[in-house]
Structure 1
Amino acid sequence: MSDDQSLQRRSFLKATGGAATALALAGCTGDNNDDGTDDPGTDTEGTDDPGTGTDDDDEGFGESDRTLKLTNATMSTLDPIASTDTANGRVIQQVFDGLMNYPNGEIEVETLLATDYEVSDDFTTYTFNLKEDVQFHNGDPVTASDFVYSFERLTASSNSRRAYFATSAMGIEHETDSDGNYEPGTLGVTAVDETTLEVQLSAPFHSTLPMLAYTAFGVIPEGFVDDTPGYDGEIGYDEFAQTNPISAGPFTFESWETNTMAEVSRFDDYHGDGPLIGGIHWQIITDSDARYNYGQNKNADLPPMPTSKYDPSKVTIEEEDDLGRQRGTYGPMQNGETAEYAAVPTINTYYIGLNAKNVPKPVRQAIAYAMNQHEGVEQVFKGRGEPAYHFSPPRIYPGGTSAYDEHAEQNYPYGYGESRLDDAQQVMEDAGYGPNNEYDITFTTYTSPTWQGLGTILRDKLVNAHVNMNLEEAPFSTLLNRGRNGNLSAYSLGWVMDWPAPDNFFGQLVPELTDTDREGGARGAYLDWDDVEDGAVDQMSSAWETVQNNQAPTEDDAATRGEAYVQMEEAMWEDMILLPCYHRTDERFAYDWVDIDPYGAGGGSRQKFNQVTIGERS
């Protein structure tokens, strides 16, 4: 890039990544993940775990054929455009490479299969120069035409759950039919030559480069799968999604047995550094206690630590780096070993969704009055996070963590750090409820003793407010399907960043996208917020429109978006369709024979393991 282009890139990253910089300076999920928590996550959500390790290079560390042994809670697909949860993402991240990457899950993106890029003065044209002599796992060369196909497949395939990344969020130029559906073959992505790719946006988008780091934009060979209009396909969809995913990542796929295990092996012709290990094995174990025991028996190199087994008094912090990552030790564990320990606040929000069609507003408000987020974090989640009062996590909230705290303390209407049971009772009685007219509601959590514990606290408090809360658990996939189709009232869920900006979170709350009556169910959160009358729907919709109309990566547009984000937070509070509970801090526990870099605020599911080394196991 020229000096002018370099300056433009720095300005772009400053405008788009200001929240990320604040994160570095300041320090749909829901899966039972390897970082030791009980929380899975759509999208993201959970993580594989933040990094720990050892610098001991004289005990067998270095390149080897050893296999990194991990656990996973579930797995449903190997297709990056179909995956919407971090359990799949942990495996997909190791197999698929794209233009950009979050190095070790840190937030400031870097080039991966691109060598550099140029951005037009109006921020609508991105030109990427690709690495030369890069091979797919099947030996085919990676060219710009492969990216054109991969972007087209993301947008046009009936199997894609992420088409909106390209069309709605990033706003790549395209045409639609009379019903507003994408017209295949019209996407503004062009192969200028074999190593030059051009992406044309219809308008500026402030997070274009971070978006391209998402695995949904991972490259596969041109015309490889038979699910994309205009391409014949070499293999069937099920074969690709289950047994033969091909990309250019550091590891090649080996095998996957449903509910049992998945394996990848070293790609010797990888274009980047490493890999330094022979492969990775994930043991798929649904039950969190069984995963814990598996790790304590030293069958996993990064032993899971569910909250039910976690003891905060066993944490010893030895250092904190400039990204806010704390490192030290944890132990002794049940097996007598002391693990290397790392913790990092990642960009996520866990919440209770309250479907507006199924739960009257007074009941939604009473639940909010009964909730004490501080109490939940300390008593239920054992301090493994921060109390949540906004949907935007603190590190991407407009103005950063201090602005987040100030706005919550001064404006949250349901009680900051306290339960207001008198107000809960009053709002119910004003609506006609009482001892002889209680409201029955079911709170559905994914399989998690911690969320059931939080539900128990709420249930006991709400008795005084004429709300009879019943608790039930459901498998994570079942919860998602029921929610999407409007068959939940109150439910536990979370959101982990796809890209580090509040619009990634609030895109789930656009009222029309929360409609569970639409064909295929809700595309956003399962809230039916569009059914609310005389509430804050108009405020939310108006603020969202402001965000959409001010997408340029400039300081002025960023300021305008920031004001709109705060308006959306307050609209959410007003109608109480989503009750923020906590922002999880991810933790990694590692045996001392593992040398693995710590990950950043993007989470462990964004970390590639090509630089991991494994010493002699004890």
Structure 2
Amino acid sequence: MSTTMLTGAALAESHVPEGVTLADDQTFTYRQLDEFSSLDPQIVEDVDGSDVVRDLFEGLMNQDADGNLVPGVATGYEASEDKKTYTFTLRENAKWSNGDPVTANDFVYAWRRAADPETASPYQWFMELMSLENASEIVAGEADPETLGVTAIDDYTLEVKLTAPLPYFPQMTTHSTTFPSPQSVIEEHGSEWTKPENIVSNGAYVLEEHLPGERSVRVRNEMYWDNENTIIDRVVALVINDENVALTRYLAGELDRTDIPAGQYPSLSEEYPDEAVSFPRLCNYYYTFNVSDSGPEAFKDVNVRKALAMAVDRNIIVEKVMQGGQPPAYTFTPAAVAGFEPPTLPWTEMSQAERDQMAKDLLAEAGYGPDNPLEFEMVYNTSEAHEKVAVALSQLWKQKLGVQATLANMEWKVFLEERGNQNFEMARGAWCGDYNEASTFLDLLDSQSGYNDGKYSNERVDELLEQAKTSDDTSPLYTEVEEILYEEMPVIPIYHYAGVYMLDSDLGGWPVDNVEQNWYSKDLYKIAE
């Protein structure tokens, strides 16, 4: 057995640097764009919701400020020689907010629940991605959830069996889908179990208040095993749909963190050099074509898809529209991903003028032109930044190709549903890595992926992604996938994200070096002004 024990010594020391005086009021207030999808670890599917769930619940492993694994409910783990069995040792002082101990059975219950088709978890496929034994059969409805490869050896020992060795498996346990769930509470309250009056959680915070579409408040969980080292007492998330309204409220001192509106980073970083930040993030921004049976006939033609992708001047989008340090995207996978070397693709070698000429030729070849203009609708979720990008894209296509793209925006939950049901022609997409490895992005275009919203299907891509799960050298496999995506263009990569925030100078501990941006309020602190 190879053993990885993560020591708690570093955790025992305070995370506040020497010489820092803490503020009397330890309240952290931040802005989120939309109402989150859920607070149920096995149901939540959006970034804002996952940020809240990471405070309310704690999984086997957490991440530190640099994105490295640190102990969560587990103090460490052992991997068998063949890397197909992982044994996690759970801490005996972990408790639920009602005082009950957190045991290995709570993880077994949660993981079975995530894989069970009856739960209808949007992240059900993640259990397959983790290569858990029998996960594929359970997801397909062909096996009982109780056959999942996860077992409570005793209250504080969790054994996980995989169908294939997965070198990044421990990293996947920082994802909310793998967090424990309180079985008795869920059985008693059903879908109402996450309401403030019902919820029982095991993270550093408990839910005190939730006004959907307005705000949610979480306060310290006195039962949390490391409560004595938590400094932030209260976390307030305010739903503010308009970036500019949020910025005004930030500048008025009402928020400690907000997103910088598209185009405003250069001026804000000059005016507030200690507060405006931009750093690489493990996220991509793209538009997806609906190539399913319900999709428009035009998008079934690769020349049309390629023409639209070629005509996007990404430098205009990142330098004139976003202006926040975002790199333009010519691959689906961001360069910030650990161990990923973006391949040189034909369009990365071309000038924009050459790409534009190619776009015109391809569209003409597909039979579209002044007498027969290409028309379609593109949808995005309500946000000023998304709107600016959509407007810019539609203008570029109109000017260069005579294409008529009409824009439609939707409220977040409606957008997720319509896109997931292929009820669109072209839709905005964005993905933030669930773990730091290229497969977290490329697996979205596997024909079986729950988030393959355009229903793109390529047998060779599926085969390469399957091989990558057990390969010692994934680079040539991922390179070939990106080459196929360039040739077939099922999605249009636009840019890769940067974290572009206003962070109050009295907020300490924000993990700007964690490219996944998995942050925990328990690691933050407010400095006396």
What TM-score do you get using the length of structure 1 for normalisation?
0.77
Residue in structure 2 matched with residue 121 of structure 1 by the alignment:
81
1:299 pairs, out of 254, 261, 276, with 254
Q: Is the 8 A contact 2:312 2:397 kept in 1?
A: no
2:123 is equivalent to residue 211 of structure 1: no
Deviations 1:351-383 (A, max 9, x none): 111222322332211111211222321111114
Q: Is the 8 A contact 2:279 2:325 kept in 1?
A: no
CA change 1:369–1:415 in 2 (3 A) is farther
Deviation at 1:414, TM superposition (A): 8.8
2:59 is equivalent to residue 98 of structure 1: yes
Letter in 1 for 2:390: G
2:224 is equivalent to residue 270 of structure 1: yes
Quote the Cα distance in structure 1 between the aligned partners of 2:392 and 2:243: 22
Segments of 5+ residues of structure 2 without an aligned counterpart are: 7-14
Residue in structure 2 matched with residue 529 of structure 1 by the alignment:
456
How do residues 80-479 of structure 1 correspond to structure 2 at under 5 angstroms? 80-104=41-65, 106-156=66-116, 157-173=118-134, 176=137, 180-225=141-186, 233-240=187-194, 243-272=197-226, 274-308=229-263, 310-315=264-269, 331-332=271-272, 339-356=274-291, 357-358=295-296, 359=299, 360-396=301-337, 398=339, 400=340, 403-404=341-342, 407-408=343-344, 410-412=345-347, 415=350, 420-463=355-398, 464-479=400-415
Segments of 5+ residues of structure 1 without an aligned counterpart are: 10-52, 226-232, 316-329, 333-337, 514-522, 531-536, 552-556
Deviation at 1:217, TM superposition (A): 1.4
CA change 1:498–1:6 in 2 (3 A) is closer
| Structural RMSD (CA) | 2.7
Quote the Cα distance in structure 1 between the aligned partners of 2:439 and 2:480: 12
**% identical equivalent positions:** 24
Q: Is the 8 A contact 1:372 1:419 kept in 2?
A: no
Q: Is the 8 A contact 1:243 1:256 kept in 2?
A: no
Residue in structure 1 matched with residue 472 of structure 2 by the alignment:
558
Letter in 2 for 1:364: R
1:488 pairs, out of 407, 424, 429, with 424
Letter in 1 for 2:452: A
Q: Secondary structure at the match of 2:76?
A: strand
Deviation at 1:487, TM superposition (A): 1.9
Deviations 1:327-364 (A, max 9, x none): xxx624xxxxx643443211111111122232233221
Quote the Cα distance in structure 2 between the aligned partners of 1:149 and 1:348: 30
2:13 is equivalent to residue 67 of structure 1: no
Quote the Cα distance in structure 2 between the aligned partners of 1:461 and 1:199: 51
Quote the Cα distance in structure 1 between the aligned partners of 2:265 and 2:440: 33
Q: Secondary structure at the match of 2:185?
A: coil
Deviation at 1:58, TM superposition (A): 5.5
CA change 1:471–1:237 in 2 (3 A) is closer
2:481 is equivalent to residue 541 of structure 1: no
Deviation at 1:177, TM superposition (A): 7.0
Quote the Cα distance in structure 1 between the aligned partners of 2:410 and 2:18: 44
Q: Is the 8 A contact 2:330 2:348 kept in 1?
A: no
1:608 pairs, out of 507, 520, 527, with 520
Deviation at 1:179, TM superposition (A): 5.7
Quote the Cα distance in structure 2 between the aligned partners of 1:397 and 1:194: 35
CA change 1:242–1:267 in 2 (3 A) is closer
Deviation at 1:461, TM superposition (A): 3.4
Deviations 1:131-176 (A, max 9, x none): 1122111110112222222222222251422222223433234583
Q: Is the 8 A contact 1:413 1:573 kept in 2?
A: no
Deviation at 1:193, TM superposition (A): 1.6
Deviation at 1:295, TM superposition (A): 1.4
